[in-house]
Amino acid sequence: MTPSEKILDILNQRPANLMEWGYNTPTEFPDGLKYWVNTTAYHPGWVRVVYEDGEGCYFVKAAETEYGYYKEVGFVQEEELFEVLDKLVHEGFTDEEVEEIRRRWWKK
């Protein structure tokens, strides 16, 4: 299974959340997937999920050009990927929360 297929598989396990996000326009590329979310909750815009094969984890980037929002969350483990994506879309992450995810990865 390619990284983009794996990410799609994870996302498609929760169709109700995808509808809530206004998820659309998924675009596959060799090491991941990007898609658009159209939500009024927190982050409308592009989300890009990249699988880093050398590290065995995901990096998530969210960008919204109208207000200049940009956030990257790295070292995301597969079992927490959907929860990270959901929080990114609905609430966003503080720098401290991003750092905690990184610390968990390095303690592994």
Query: Would you place residue 66 in the very low, low, confident or very high pLDDT band (cuts 50, 70, 90)?
Result: low
31, pLDDT greater than 90 = yes
Q: How many independent structural domains does the chain possess?
A: 1
Amino acid, res. 73: V
Q: Residue 74's domain spans which residues?
A: 3-107
Q: What's the chain's average pLDDT?
A: 88
Q: What is the pTM of this model?
A: 0.88
pLDDT of residue 14: 96
Whether 84 contacts 56, CB under 8 Å = no
9, pLDDT greater than 90 = yes
Express as a percent the part of the chain with pLDDT over 70.
90
